[in-house]
């Protein structure tokens, strides 16, 4: 299994209503310190992917996309549908973090 497949496998396991950081995914994939590679891997997914890419967030409890962009609004909407509550653009990692 290549590195991209490892990342996909881990992202697939994040349960509904939970999030994981790019760094957490990298570490679980055996790629500690390669959070940006996780981001790149998810950025290159096909538009019609069934992988829950939107459950991967930055380590500050924010979305990585610039606020107000189409991608930001899409990711925020998908997370809100799963019960994640945003307050001033942030959400509680303590409440929503996936502890595998």
Query: pLDDT tier at 100 (50, 70, 90 boundaries)?
Result: low
Per-residue pLDDT of 18-37, as tens digits, reads 999 999 999 999 999 999 99
Total domains in the chain come to 1
> What's the rounded Cα separation, in Å, for the pair 72 and 6?
25
Neighbours of 63 (CB within 10 A): 24
Q: Distance between CA 76 and CA 53 in Å, rounded?
A: 12
Radius of gyration, CA atoms only, the chain:
13
For residues 67 and 49, give the distance between their C-alpha atoms in angstroms, rounded to a whole number.
23
> Which residue carries 């760094």 as its tokens?
23
Reported pTM? 0.94
Q: What is the CATH number of the domain that holds 21?
A: 1.10.10.10
What's 53's DSSP letter?
A: G
pLDDT-based confidence at residue 2 (cuts at 50, 70, 90): very high
Domain that holds residue 61: 3-96
Residues with Cβ within 8 Å of 34's Cβ and at least 6 positions away in sequence, in order, are 26
């Amino acid at each position: 299994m290549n590195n991209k497949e490892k990342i996909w496998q881990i992202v697939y396991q994040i349960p509904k209503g939970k999030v994981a950081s790019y760094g957490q995914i990298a570490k679980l994939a055996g790629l500690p310190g390669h959070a940006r590679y996780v981001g790149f891997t998810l950025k290159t997914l096909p538009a019609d992917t069934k992988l829950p890419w939107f459950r991967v967030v930055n380590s500050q409890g924010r979305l990585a996309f610039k606020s107000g962009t189409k991608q930001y609004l899409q990711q925020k909407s998908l997370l809100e549908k799963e019960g994640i509550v945003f307050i001033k653009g942030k959400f509680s990692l303590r409440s929503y973090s996936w502890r595998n």
